[in-house]
Structure 1
């Protein structure tokens, strides 16, 4: 039976921090991989998991930048990987699997947002390639280690940006339609949520549960590097001096608050036996109609099992891989 897409009353909320939701959890002996874990939300996620005792591995495209994160998080293990390069994903996965370790937490956090049209070596649009396909391939290649954990969680960082667009199955790579950066971002974030739906359906019998989430609006990270200051001011996320506006009840969060839902999805005891749902504010999000004008909530095209299965089949074709 699938998990209902409805809040469960976790006791945490929009202002909760990653440290608060991890309090009391002993992750000694657990292994976590956090993509993008050397900056912003990923770094805070890696730091909190490590502080709770987990061994944390961060695959990074920019190793020099990642070394600075290693100074912030003692014991953080760094390795090279580029989510737009299938060979580098395979190489990273091979190195991890060689050690025979189980993988208890796979945090698919890394992302790009609203960048100019860029394509990977296969011709795939970069936001779909990085945010979805790269993580699909990584998860597929690490599947044996996830199963070996006998109770793993895959946490996929989506976004309320999914409300901008579903997946265009006829032209996902913008080969024939005009490229619009935010539509491409929204498509990739919908893909993140749908991936968790299908992955959980596949993995539940193997003890692998999957969740997607919206972390909140956080503007002091590298993710917003393609947004102008004027755009951010107009959106209300920065003030006239360019400083972040912090108002968690209205989706404007600090990094510590933004990482909280990721950590909650990874460690919460309340989520035992659950999976395949989209979360926000350290709880399962409510489902809202397609035409909803609400700030939060998950739209139907991001949780539909039939669309999730269609995306899964397309992702298999595009990557040549499936978790097994």
Structure 2
């Protein structure tokens, strides 16, 4: 299998496309899907689309009662307990999934935190890196046998155009030596999500497990709970009346539009035989010429660099004691 070029393929969809539109005509009957963060924000719309196509959907959640309430209109969705910064909780959830199904067709690593004040998990790892990347890395490793058995599984990692804020600092990944900056930490985590897809795809393609990184767009969701009022105002995601601004061409989307690229990457036959690329607006994104590019669309070189992806994979194995097996 050859490397997939980081350039658009002309999918026929675009910034305003919704999850329902991109999955129309696709059957997931008999397929099993896991969506982390599937009980809030764009995760709910991602779950809704998979379920509408006939998939059995499993959603891990830290607060299962709250998750079940959020998914009350979809009572057949399976909700199981898991907390991404807790390694033992990840292992228990993965064991539960493996007891429920022999194969896993789609894994969408959708959950995340953004711009949190400095917090560390029990291991001392910086929380945005731990929750957004390391937790999903460990989860993917634990579910690997089921992904391989699906004979055509796809893994979708939710990145963001926030990757432009920072690359990975391999010498100080947990802000132990430099002053913590919550937006730099977020940028590192989103770069990690993109590099994860590059590395996983390079490993997984021999088993027909393909991986994609996704920028969903700017959506007013609970993810913004740590943003300051001045930051929210500067982002212009709300109008003067406090209503979300919807302008898909300029990265401001509804949750249904925000879920579309994840669903497209997870299910589209247009991506057969492809992987390891960063996608946005329901297509493979353009590769920007430099990390200093001011362009808001596309992916910067540091987030798709295969050497950095390999280094991050090795670091992640060391930090989580998890491997593909």
Q: Given the two structures, how large is their TM-score scaled by the length of structure 2?
A: 0.98
- Partners in 1 of 2:307 and 2:267 — Cα distance? 28
Give 1:67 shift.
1.1
- Counterpart of 2:250 in structure 1 is 250
Counterpart CA distance in 2 for 1:178 and 1:163 is 19
> Matches of residues 75-114 of structure 1 in structure 2 within 5 Å?
75-114=76-115
Q: Look up the match of 1:284.
A: 284
Report the 3-state secondary structure (helix = DSSP H, G, I; strand = E; otherwise coil) of the residue aligned with 2:46: helix
Cα pair 2:44 2:71 within 8 Å, conserved? no
Q: Which runs of 5 or more residues in structure 1 are unaligned?
A: none
Contact 2:291 2:301 in 1 (8 A): yes
Q: Separation in 1 of the partners of 2:73 and 2:185?
A: 33
Give the distance between the partners of 1:16 and 1:70, measured in 2 at CA: 23
* Match of residue 118 from structure 2: 117
- 2:271 aligns with 271
Distance 2:46 2:322 in 1: 28
Secondary structure at 1:8 match in 2: coil
Checking the alignment, whether the CA contact within 8 Å between 1:233 and 1:240 is kept in structure 2 is no
Q: CA deviation at 1:98?
A: 2.2
Q: Which residue in 2 is equivalent to 1:238? A: 238
Residue 143 (str. 1) matches residue 144 (str. 2): yes
Query: How many positions carry a matched residue from both structures?
Result: 323
The whole-number CA distance in structure 2 between the counterparts of 1:172 and 1:119 is: 12
Identify which range, 223-232 or 310-319, moves more after superposition.
Answer: 223-232
1:314 maps to 315
1:54-87 CA distances to partner (integer Å, 9 max, x unpaired)? 0000000111210112312231100000000000
2:298 is the alignment partner of 1:297: yes
Question: SS of the counterpart of 2:71?
Answer: helix
Counterparts of 1:208 and 1:235, CA distance in 2 = 36
Is the 1:229–1:242 contact (alpha carbons within 8 Å) kept by the matching residues of 2? no
Q: Is 1:47 the counterpart of 2:36 in the alignment?
A: no
Question: Structure 2 CA distance, aligned partners of 1:180 and 1:240?
Answer: 29
Counterparts of 1:244 and 1:230 in 2: how far apart (Å)? Answer: 16
Contact 2:32–2:101, Cα closer than 8 Å, also in 1:
no
- Equivalent in the alignment of 1:223: 223
Distance 1:100 1:242 in 2: 44
Conserved 8 A contact 1:70-1:77: no
User: 1:100: Cα distance to partner?
Assistant: 4.3
Q: Distance in 2 between matches of 1:99 and 1:26?
A: 21
* Pairs within 5 Å for 1:181-200: 181-200=182-201
Query: Does the 8 Å contact 1:197/1:276 carry over to 2?
Result: yes
Secondary structure at the counterpart of residue 279 of structure 2 = strand
What is the CA–CA distance in structure 1 between the aligned matches of 2:143 and 2:8, rounded to whole Å?
A: 30
In structure 2, runs of 5+ residues without a counterpart are none
Q: Is the 8 A contact 1:233 1:242 kept in 2?
A: no
Kindly indicate whether the alpha-carbon contact (under 8 Å) linking 2:121 and 2:130 is maintained by their aligned counterparts in 1. Answer: yes
3-state SS, counterpart of residue 75 of structure 1? coil
C-alpha contact (below 8 Å) 2:212/2:265 kept by paired residues: yes
Q: Is the 8 A contact 1:32 1:56 kept in 2?
A: yes
Runs of 4+ in 1 over 3 A off after TM superposition: none
Match in the other structure for 1:38: 39
TM-score (norm 1): 0.98
Cα distance in 2 for residues equivalent to 1:163 and 1:7: 19
Q: Distance in 2 between matches of 1:47 and 1:100?
A: 20
RMSD: 0.8
Q: Return the alpha-carbon distance in structure 1 between the equivalents of residues 267 and 98 of structure 2.
A: 23
